[in-house]
Amino acid sequence: MSEQSSDTENRNFIRDIVADDLSSGHCKEIATRFPPEPNGYLHIGHAKSICLNFGIAQDFGGRCHLRFDDTNPTREEQEYIDAIKTDIRWLGLDWGKHLYYASDYFEQLYDWAVHLIQTGNAYVDDLTADEIRDYRGTLTDPGRNSPYRDRPIEENLHLFARMRSGDFPEGRCVLRAKIDMASGNINLRDPIIYRIIHTKHPRTASKWCIYPTYDFAHGQSDAIEHISHSICTLEFEDHRPLYDWFIENLPVPSRPHQHEFARLNLSYTVLSKRILTQLVRENRVSGWDDPRMPTLAGLRRRGFPPEAIRDFASRIGVAKRDAVVDVAMLEHCVRDILNQNADRRMAVLRPLKVIIENYPDSQVEELEAANNPGNESSGTRTIPFSRELYIEQDDFMEAPPKKFFRLAPDREVRLRYGYLITCTNVIKDVNGEVTELRCTYDPATRGGKTPDGRKVKGTLHWVSASHAVDAEVRLYEYLFAVSEPGVDGNLIQDINPTSLEVLNNCKLEPCLVNLSKGQTVQFERMGYFCSDTDSTPERLVLNRTIGLRDSWSKTLGGKTG
């Protein structure tokens, strides 16, 4: 899609900047990048950045790079690299031949660090981490120069070479840029640009024992790759002067510019990678792909379609100010896609046996049912109907209130695609719990029709008992019980203790035995459900993706935060 043909609703201030830079001749080709750190799994907040960077490149006929910021081997793993690639491809996006790593540039970055030393713009500092922090000052007090700040250039070159050679232990010394310890921007108070880390790197193994910091590697990697627009979130706005300082003081091959936008904040959700890592390590969730997690892996396992994620990213837009987006908006996008694409099926999650006493014992009928009433091309399926059925426990009440229109003693209801039945007897166990219902059916009402025109308000879903497929169904709710987790300072206490309920005796219509892993269907009246990766040929496991009720559709067109 070209910029000229793109929808007006997709415009935002970043796109306007890009369009202006092209029209003014400031840049001739658009190049963006998505630069994740491979120290965890991507989450829904990253999806906003991914869609923005790849979308701008596509719309303006440019390219988007995937570049891993692998500058801290103590936290990085190949597992995360592979997962990030999988997530981006799942979103339907492709970096093509433009896959890069900051580690690709380690030799060049080292040479540029030497250049800074040679020009008097960097020095080796022997202060400890605590001393550096103390010397840096505060937001109201200026910093103080390190006693090592004025070391001779030759001494700094010698010490930096020894750092690379592995002569020093971790923490012994660092390389700092020499900028301004009195600057009002703390990021400019002689930031660290190299530190010693004696840890094997996922790609370079033990070749290096010193590694550049993000602030040093990021802008220079952009310059090497001729990135035209370095787009990042607002927390890096105060880092932009440092980004520009490095570009101005190094012989880089291009001069990219950094632009910031507001990160995604989502109600009932935590999007801090540090906290998500904590949840995984403390076993508060089953892993990075736990369906309660906001990770793309978790959302995929829960059954969220990638089209819904992209639609959500488009709807929330790109702003300059942080705001909280209602999670109901994301859920609306999910329902909107699944309502169009998901086949309908019947499943009974909390079964109650129903015996139709006047239905022939050995008779089985095949009833025709629509796969998706809103999509005629999806066709139909057949469902077996027999004397013994299961309905939901909640669809029966022995002493119902006035507005309860489902099954009750001596009451008639419609079975979806089937017949009208009337409850004639209630069977209970020794504890007085209802275990079985006896009913009669009207043979003249096949397909739910009423030839005599009588009114029946209740329609129930059901499953034939002898044909039912057994399944485990996992009902997921929000991982956090409050809309702003951690606002009171204790995030762990805000975890929802009922965020997962496992049902082990669910009964599904027989065609679901062929449900493939990751496939999402709508259980009529119950919600959308996805076959989990834990499913086996012997036993289905399904996750509730989302319920049917849509609270956001009533507020469409309103503010998102």
Q: Which two tokens stand for residue 180?
A: 């301004």
The answer, yes or no, to whether residue 353 has pLDDT greater than 60, is yes
Would the pTM of this model clear 0.95, i.e. be above it?
Answer: no
Cα radius of gyration rounded to whole Å, the chain: 31
pLDDT at 6: 42
Whether 153 and 118 have beta carbons less than 8 Å apart is answered as yes
**Averaged over 343-371, what is the pLDDT?**
97
Tokens representing 265? 């904040």
Can you read off the two tokens belonging to residue 237?
Answer: 């706005």
For residues 68 and 35, is the Cβ–Cβ distance under 8 A?
yes
State how far the Cα of 168 lies from the Cα of 174, in Å rounded to an integer: 10
The proportion of the chain whose per-residue pLDDT surpasses 70, expressed as a percent, equals 96
Residue 559 is predicted with a pLDDT of 39
Mean pLDDT of 219-238: 96
CA trace torsion 16, 22, 27, 31 (10° rounding) = 60
Does 561 score more than 50 pLDDT? no
Which residue type, as a one-letter code, is found at position 401? P
Please return the burial class of 158, using the count of CB atoms within 10 Å of its CB with bins 0-12, 13-18 and 19+: middle
Sheet strands side by side (includes 174-177): 122-125, 174-177, 192-196, 210-212
Q: Do residues 280 and 65 lie in contact, with contact meaning Cβ atoms separated by under 8 Å?
A: no
423: Cβ–Cβ under 8 A, 6 or more apart, which residues? 396, 407, 408, 409, 410, 411, 437, 438, 439
What dotted CATH number matches 10-261? 3.40.50.620
**Fold of domain 347-461:** Ribosomal Protein L25; Chain P (2.40.240)
Structural contact between residues 264 and 48, judged by C-beta atoms closer than 8 angstroms:
yes
* pLDDT on residue 42: 98
Residues 207, 199: Cα–Cα separation, whole Å: 10
Structure tokens at 261: 């936008």
Which tokens belong to 260?
């910031």
What number of other Cβ atoms are within 10 A of residue 13's Cβ? Answer: 13
Architecture of domain 273-343+471-555: Beta Barrel (2.40)
Strand, helix or coil for residue 222 = helix
The answer, yes or no, to whether residue 237 has pLDDT greater than 70, is yes
What pLDDT is recorded for position 554?
Answer: 55
pLDDT tens-digit map of 451-490: 888 899 999 999 999 999 999 999 999 999 999 999 888 8
pLDDT at 381 over 80: yes
Average pLDDT over the chain reads: 94
Q: Report the pLDDT averaged over residues 296-314.
A: 97
Chain segment 329-340, per-residue pLDDT in tens: 999 999 999 999
The pLDDT, as a whole number, for residue 4 is 38
The pLDDT confidence band at residue 10, using thresholds 50, 70 and 90, is: low
Whether pLDDT at 1 is above 60: no
What DSSP assignment string belongs to 69-102? Answer: ----TTT--HHHHHHHHHHHHHTT---TT-EEEG
* Residue whose pair of structure tokens reads 């057994």 in the numeric block: 470
Positions of CATH 2.40.240.10 in the chain: 273-343+471-555, 347-461
CA distance 136 to 200: 30
Residue 496: C-alpha distances to residues 17, 59, 287, 492, 500 (Å): 42, 41, 17, 9, 9
Residue 451: the pLDDT is 87
pLDDT of residue 446: 95
Three-state DSSP class for 440? strand
- Catalytic residue positions, numbered: 37, 263, 273
What SS3 state is found at 426? strand
pLDDT at 7 exceeding the cut of 80: no
What residue spans in the chain does CATH classification 3.40.50.620 cover? 10-261
Give per-residue pLDDT as tens, 277-302: 999 999 999 999 999 999 999 999 99
Q: What is the pLDDT of residue 87?
A: 98
Phi/psi of residue 536, nearest 5 degrees: -130, 165
Give CA angle at 35 (30, 36), nearest 5°: 155
| Amino acid sitting at position 389 | L
176 and 190 Cβ atoms separated by less than 8 Å? yes
Q: Is the pLDDT of residue 560 over 70?
A: no
Nearest to 332 by CA among 546, 52, 530: 546
Across 523-536, average pLDDT: 96
83-111 residue pLDDT tens: 999 999 999 999 999 999 999 999 999 99
Q: How far apart are the C-alpha atoms of 228 and 21, rounded to whole Å?
A: 9
Check if the beta carbon of residue 206 is closer than 8 Å to that of residue 190: no
- pLDDT class of 549 with cuts at 50, 70, 90: confident
Report residue 557's pLDDT band, with 50, 70 and 90 as the boundaries: very low
